[in-house]
Structure 1
Amino acid sequence: MKVVMYSRKQCPLCEKAKIQLLALQTEFQFEFEEVDIYENDSLLERYQLMIPVVEINGEEVEYGQIVKENIRKRLLKKMM
């Protein structure tokens, strides 16, 4: 399973989301990748007002204020 978080530097919500996602790695086995939207024009255009955005196996599951429990539920669903 792969979890991607779209973010940018100097983003407090992104830092908080990253901490929550890394904590979930103690419960679930998944690959984590953080992508800076400012390194790709199309990602910047797509996500600039939404970050952080969390994607699990290619599906956007949450953005903005990331709630750890919501991500936990999505990870459980993906495992079934």
Structure 2
Amino acid sequence: MSEPRVTLYAKPGCHLCEDARAVIERVCAELGESYVEVSILDDPALLQRFAEEIPVTFVDGRQHDFWRVSEDRLRAALTG
């Protein structure tokens, strides 16, 4: 696997985060990409920045989505 192109900022117990993770796992597996998940609870700066927007998805270091992850949009970002 290559370096992760997708970063999911999330927190435990977040149902939207679980939904986002499922989409990200599916798309990354399909495309041979990897992702990393970061808990915003582990970093006060991330907690302050993203507390009201999780889950937040970054692709190639740029913010891509928040709250919901579109499978089609994520696939396009990773292949385009």
> Of 28, 32, 35, which residue of structure 1 is paired with 2:31?
28
Q: RMSD over aligned Cα, in angstroms? A: 1.1
Q: For structure 2, list consecutive stretches of 5 or more residues without a partner in the other structure.
A: none
Q: For structure 1, list consecutive stretches of 5 or more residues without a partner in the other structure.
A: none
2: CA distance, partners of 1:66 / 1:31: 16
Report the equivalent of 1:46.
Answer: 49
Give 3-state SS (helix, strand or coil) of 1:51's partner: coil
How far did residue 65 of structure 1 move?
1.6
2: CA distance, partners of 1:67 / 1:3: 13
Give 3-state SS (helix, strand or coil) of 2:65's partner: strand
> Of 6, 9, 12, which residue of structure 2 is paired with 1:6?
9
> Of 68, 74, 77, which residue of structure 2 is paired with 1:74?
77
Q: 4+ residue stretches of structure 1 with deviation over 3 A?
A: none
Question: So what's the TM-score if we normalise by structure 1?
Answer: 0.88
Q: Deviations over 1:37-62 (max 9, x none)?
A: 01000000110101101111101111
Q: How many residues align?
A: 77
Question: So what's the TM-score if we normalise by structure 2?
Answer: 0.88
